Structure 1
Amino acid sequence: MIGLTKAASHKHCIVCGKTIEEMDSFCDEVCDSKYKSAQRRQTLFFLIFIGLLVLMLIVPVFLKAPQG
């Protein structure tokens, strides 16, 4: 292996990819905020999806209920 050097132990920011220390997950507060915002948005979309799925399964049952 010619020209390769051993890098110091490190991690990368999970948002932007910058090199950070091993104990950290984000390089700064901006990336931390972006990650939390994306997580909230993803959770909201998941809950909306589950809600729509439940409606699609339950509403037809009530529409086909016998009238009387």
Structure 2
Amino acid sequence: MDALTRAAASLLAGVVALLVVGVGVTEALAPHVWPSLLVGIPAGIAAALFAGVSVWLWLRPNAPREPT
């Protein structure tokens, strides 16, 4: 897999995670916390970073695998 495809997949995973987690946390906290968006945005950013790096590492060529 070339670097452009890997970067696109990582970016897509990050954006999807940002939207899903950000909106989910914001909506879940809306009845309880007034500035729920201020909690949802950092949670979404953290999830996006985790998802993007995870996909980038998962798709790298010649990834070391543990023997099973």
TM tier relative to shorter chain: 0.3 to 0.5
Q: TM-score, normalised by structure 2?
A: 0.42
Q: TM-score, normalised by structure 1?
A: 0.42
Larger of the two Rg values belongs to structure: 1
Structure with bigger RCO (C-alpha 8 Å, 6+ apart): 2
More strand by share: 1
More helix by share: 2
